[in-house]
Structures are given as C-alpha cells and as structure tokens.
Structure 1
Amino acid sequence: MTLSDGYIQQGLTLQAIRDVGLDPVEVWIAYFGMGGTADPVHVLDYLRGSALIPPLQRDIVSRAVSEVLFDGGLLCGGQGAKGARRPAGASAADPGSAAGIDGVALPPSMDFDPAVATTASAGALLHGDVPVQDPGAQESRRVASLERTGLLETGAEERFDRITRRAREFFQVGVAAIGFLTHDRYVTKSAAGRVEAYLPRQEVMCNRTIRTTRALVVPDARQDDRFRNLRFVRSEPGIRFYAGHALRGPGGLLIGTFCVADTRPRHFAREDERALRVYAAQAQMQVCL
C-alpha cells in the first residue's frame, strides 16, 4: 500500500465517523479488544488527520469502526454487495475526548482474528442480534476466548479493583463491577459494593450486555420488560438502575462486562454514558494485558 493509499483510507474513515457522529470511545474499546497495538498518541493524531499509522493498525481500526457502525444499524445492514462485511471507509476512530486513555501504552496484540471479530460473529454471537449460522459453535468460541485470558483463575486483582472503586465513587452508585460470563455463570472479577462471586448467567443484566458492542443503559429495571422479572430486580438487592458495556477477549469476542448498578432509578445523561465507556476502555486495557 502506498502513502497516498494510506491518506485515502484515513480520509474515508474520518468521513464515515463524522457522517454518523460516531462516539470515538466505542471505537477505542473495539480497537483494543481486536488487538490494536499502536501508541494512543499516534492513533489520536491519525484520527485527527494529522498523521498516519502502520497499515495493519489502520486495518484494525477500520474493522473496529465497522463493528460499531454495524452494531448500531448504520452500516447498510452490515452487508456488502454479496453479503460480505466491508470495513467502514477503511480505517480509524476519532478519539476527541478519550479521557483517561491518552498517554497510556496499549497492551500487546490479542491475536486479532478477522474471521471471528466481525459483528456477525462476535458483536452479536449470543442469541443473535445478528443471525449466525451456528450459535452453539460461536458460543464455544466465545467461552474459549475467555479461558485463553486466564482471568478466571487469578482471583481478585488490584488493577481491576482500582477501576471499580473509582467508578463507584464517580457515578455515586451502590455497585461497580467487572465480570465474565461462562457458559452458565457470571463470574465476578472485581466489585466495589456487594456482589456475589458467582451468579446464574440468566439472572444478570450483563447477559444482555454481551450481545452488543454498545452501552446498555436501564434507567429503571422494574419498568423494563426485559428485566423486571429477574430475581435480583424482584427481590434483594432490588436493582433498579443498570449501565454496562461489553469487554472483549482474544479474537475480539465478547467475554465480559464493566457495569454500574443501583437500587434507585436513575437518569443517565449523555456525559455519564461517555464516562461509562471510558471506564470500560480502562477495564478493556487490563483484560488485554
């Protein structure tokens, strides 16, 4: 690829981002999870149109942009002329205000696998936000991705606890947590506030969160048909508010969540949702280490 090709790729990507008002933090999370290794400062410059990054990194950012666009229903149904996904423009996100991320070195590659990191196979591999040919096989790959991280065997870690403590204080909620979903359980990795170590997967809102690459915000679970009958909503602790974002494992597969919750209903402003994505990006970086 020539230098001029790189600028064309960059320009098309930036145009795609601006045309739909794409939130750059969502793209950062997807980029990290797909194994992006470019220095954040360089990527920021690339996304501002002032510098280029290596071709492989441009391609990974392209795929991250397409992932978020597709999941939001903004990428022509996610299909090309013959049903194949096409990276948006060709590469990049636009981190205008990725607070708390600038200047932090990215983790090593997580074995980016284009075959499984598309939204059709990763962003919606659970219960089909997007149809998949073999949901059982996709779920097996997702769980295998989780197992490859080794995070189920390491117990509590300060690097995760630091994030949940800060998030709980920032959002002024009862609970902030990072957890992973196995075939049948939610496994708590870190929690500020009271959360059981293991929970039935079908009884947690995070089971819905890992079906999408976008943030899931529930102002009042008792008023939401998807969640009102969950045990932890109907009885103790009586969860009302929830906001969460999926985390990725090797291959870009969605393996867990960062979330905050409270026993009181709550309005979640746009600024709050942006802050949620920043905390999720910090958690994602730790997953990638």
Structure 2
Amino acid sequence: MLNGYLQQWTAIQTVRAAKLQPEDVFMSYLGLSGDANEFEIEGYLCGLVMLPAADRDLLAHAINELLDSTGSMVDGAHYSDPDAESSSGYSDYLRTLNLSPDRYDFAAPPAGDHSTSSTTSTDIPASLDTADPGAGGPATDGHELRADVHESEFRRVQALHESRLLERGNEERFDRITRQARDHFGVSSASIALITEDSQVIKSVIGPLGQDLPRDLSLCATTIKHDRTLVITDASVHPQWRDHPLVAGGPEVRFYAGHPICTAGGWRIGTICLMDDRPRAFTDEDVQVLRRLAAQVQIEMWV
C-alpha cells in the first residue's frame, strides 16, 4: 500500500509538470463518477487535505487519462496499491518509486526518457519528509533526524522566499479572504501569517489581533508543524497555552484556530488563522470552512 502522502505528492507533481488546470482535472474526475467536491479536489492538489484511497485512485486515473488524451510524456500519478495500478492500464506512465535513506526518489527514468540516469526530486513536501512523524518514512537515529530537520527547515524557508510573498507587502486579494474569514466566523480578527526562519510576518490582517512577532512567540509557528488545523477554544485554561505571553499578557488571546498554507511544492510556509479575546466553540464544520479558506489562499498564491 503506497503511503497516502507520497501518492498525493505524485499527483501534485504530475499536475504541475503537465501544466494541467485544476478545473480540467476536477471535470475528468467527475466524469469517472467521483463524488468529492471541487474544493476537496483543489485542496488535495494543493497538499491541503487528504482524500480516502478510493478517491485518490480515481483522481490519479483522471489525471492519467488527461495525460493520455494530450499525448503528454510527463510521469503519471501513482495509485494506492499494485492491483489498482495494474488494472488502470497506465502502468507504463509510472516510474518505480523508491524510498531511499534520504528522500523519496524515482528509481527509473520517466516514460519516453531513454537516459540511463534516475531523477531525484528536490521539491518534496514537508508532509513527506522523513523528519515528519506522520509521514510514514523510515526510522532514523538522533543524528540523522536532526540533520533531516535542519535540511527540511532550510528548504521550507527557501520555498517561502521563492514565493516572493514577503516582498509584496499587503495585497487586497488576500485581505478579501481574511475579511471573509472574520465576517463568517464572527471573530475579532483573522490573519494570514508567513513564518520565516526567526519571525512571524503578517501578510494580511483584519481586526486588532495579529502582528509581526518573533517566531518563538507565534502560535502560527506551532500550526505549521503539522498538516492539520490547530484549534484552541480557551487558551486561558489549556495547560499547554495558559502561560503563553500572548495569553497570559499582551492581547490576552483566548481563542485561536489556524490551518497551514502551502507552496505548490507542499511546503508549509504560513497559516490562515482566527483569533478572539474570548473563548469560542469550533465545530467540525467550522474546521472544513477554515480549510476551504486556506485553499483559497493557496490558489491565490499559485496564480
């Protein structure tokens, strides 16, 4: 069974390399009787959400059908298991994936490539890195793990700077999303934060809460450590957060909900977050709405 995040990565890389449009991928997926909605498919192709194996395989098949119809020689999207791959009819589009001691790489050249050298990717998402506890990578000793973490962080920050989001300052296209987030949830503030090597830089903020901070004081810096939504309904009584400087003093944050935003390569470079100075409930439906707003941010980043 192929690791879900690795399967997702192959789909993202295929769509990027073939310059496929997300809407075309979604329509191809619908034509195969897929029942995930457009936001879920876009989120998956942004590295934002994970789909069940059946949907991942159906989407991989939709992508590979598009490659076939256009005559593209780009490597195809992989399936979750050998049976699904063999029955797809697209096995020849797929290079063998090999989990090396350092990174995921391709053990064979792409279809149509007659060179003798294999290709190693330099754009592995953070969620696939062997240093990520949830990535399903190989076990490493302490020295290897520290080296991996250092390399991952270097590449994450590099991806942030290559996005050029830090250079552009505030942009109305992002302010529209944070304004929508604050109004929808009725919180005092919504913001988009970018996490550099040592600081939190606010890209967009609507409301009084949200400012540039040293990284070690940033709640959003904690959020990007994992590919999931961080929700703190009442920080004042939470053992992990009640003594945090932003909770015990300063703006006296009580509620926080944040979800990572990623580059096209899957690197978690920041968050979209909600904050309030009073405790709040946050339902599973609220989490889904926040993730969709994160997908909107990522789509703007990729345009």
Bucket of the pairwise TM-score, normalised by the shorter protein: 0.5 to 0.7
Superimposed CA distance per residue, residues 61-92 of structure 1 (whole angstroms, 9 cap, x where no aligned partner): 98xxxxxxxxxxxxxxxxx9998879xxxxxx
Question: 1:119 is matched with which residue: 113, 123, 127?
Answer: 127
Output the CA distance in 2 between the equivalents of 1:42 and 1:266.
39
Structure 1 segments unaligned to the other structure (5+ residues) = 1-11, 18-26, 63-79, 87-112
Scaled by the length of structure 1, the TM-score of the pair is 0.65
SS at match of 1:177: strand
Aligned to 1:150: 164
Please state if 1:242 is matched with 2:256. yes
The one-letter code matched in structure 2 to 1:167 is A
Question: 1:52 is matched with which residue: 58, 62, 71?
Answer: 62
**Relative contact order: is structure 1 or structure 2 higher (C-alpha 8 Å, sep ≥ 6)?**
1
Output the CA distance in 2 between the equivalents of 1:61 and 1:152.
37
Superimposed CA distance per residue, residues 181-237 of structure 1 (whole angstroms, 9 cap, x where no aligned partner): 011100000000124542111112111110111111111112223322221111121
Scaled by the length of structure 2, the TM-score of the pair is 0.62
Q: CA deviation at 1:262?
A: 0.8
Aligned to 1:233: 247
Output the CA distance in 2 between the equivalents of 1:60 and 1:200.
40
Q: CA deviation at 1:267?
A: 1.0
Please tell me the root mean square deviation across aligned C-alpha atoms, in Å: 3.8
Aligned length: 223
Moved more, 39-48 or 139-148: 39-48
The one-letter code matched in structure 2 to 1:188 is I
Question: 1:258 is matched with which residue: 256, 272, 275?
Answer: 272
Distance change (3 Å), C-alpha of 1:60 and 1:268: farther
Please state if 1:180 is matched with 2:162. no
The one-letter code matched in structure 2 to 1:282 is Q
SS at match of 1:180: strand
The one-letter code matched in structure 2 to 1:219 is T
SS at match of 2:279: coil
Moved more, 185-194 or 261-270: 261-270
Aligned to 2:38: none
Distance change (3 Å), C-alpha of 1:81 and 1:41: closer
Question: 2:237 is matched with which residue: 217, 220, 223?
Answer: 223
Structure 2 segments unaligned to the other structure (5+ residues) = 34-60, 68-73, 81-97, 106-120
Distance change (3 Å), C-alpha of 1:135 and 1:39: same
Q: Do the aligned partners of 2:189 and 2:210 also contact (CA within 8 Å) in 1?
A: no
SS at match of 2:265: helix
